[in-house]
Amino acid sequence: MKLTIHHLYADMMNLYGDRGNVLSIKKRCEWRGIPVEVVDVGVGEPIRPTGCDVFLFGGGQDREQALLAGDLAGKKGAELRAIVEDGGVVLGVCGGYQLMGHSYETPEGEKLPGIGVFDLHTEPRRPGEERLIGNVLVRVELGGESRELVGFENHGGRTYLGDVEPLGTVLYGHGNNGRDGTEGARRLNAYGTYLHGSLLPKNPWFTDHLILSALRRVDDSFELEPLDDTLERRAFEAMASRLRGRGGS
């Protein structure tokens, strides 16, 4: 059983080390002897699911988002919606997350269409409002467990959720809009978040959740071999403890 990582717009949407998310999934599969392939998907190139896939959509600048919004408005956007409806595993970060909603409005007032995987929209910051920048600690309820994610956010847009669950609750940081305490969104096996970091190397449990969700689409009894995450847990706890000490609960 081989897992295929589809890195969407790898050359355009890769801010703050988002490619580390690709590397984290790849290495954690390889350490377990799970065959894995990385496929970069650019503008004008089709998506070719294999049945055991993870789709990663990183962050980018407004210019890049505007360039690829047209590409997503056609067949590729419809294919991604179908993949999500079928239970495919998708992770969007920052700009990628914004374009998984209905629309993203730039500071210049241009409204870019999203693919509508999530019932949300993103507005530009108002005059006098600052960018939302800094480290973030989020509580996530997933699979009957309460877990935490750490990451780094840097966005001017304010995202407002409609009929969709947030990925988690902000314990420290700003999250979707700096007002309602939500961070990210999730639907079926699709996740959106503002957490760069890179997100997945900082949060190996979430990396394994994505890997296992993809593999169980082929074999629902599949289990992942445990890895020695001693160093990763220390790094996570160092950051999480620092943020809790700044006011996170």
Inter-residue contact 214 to 3 (CB < 8 Å): yes
Q: Is 209 a catalytic residue?
A: no
Q: Identify the helix (H) or strand (E) that includes residue 69.
A: helix 62-71
- Cis peptide before 198, with omega less than 30 degrees from 0? yes
Four-point Cα dihedral 163, 169, 173, 176, nearest 10: -10
CA distances from 42 to 60, 99, 114 (A): 14, 15, 17
Buried b (16+ CB within 10 A) or exposed e, 79-103: bbeebbeeebbbbbbbbbbbbbbbb
Inter-residue contact 87 to 129 (CB < 8 Å): no
Q: Is 94 a catalytic residue?
A: yes
Does 131 carry a binding-site annotation?
yes
CA 242 – CA 70 distance, rounded (Å) = 42
Q: Residue written as tokens 């990396």?
A: 207
Four-point Cα dihedral 187, 192, 195, 196, nearest 10: 140
From 6, 7, 52, 94, the catalytic residue: 94
From 7, 155, 196, 209, the catalytic residue: 196
Q: What residue numbers does the annotated binding site for substrate cover?
A: 131
Q: What residue numbers does the annotated binding site cover?
A: 131
Which residues are the active-site residues? 94, 196
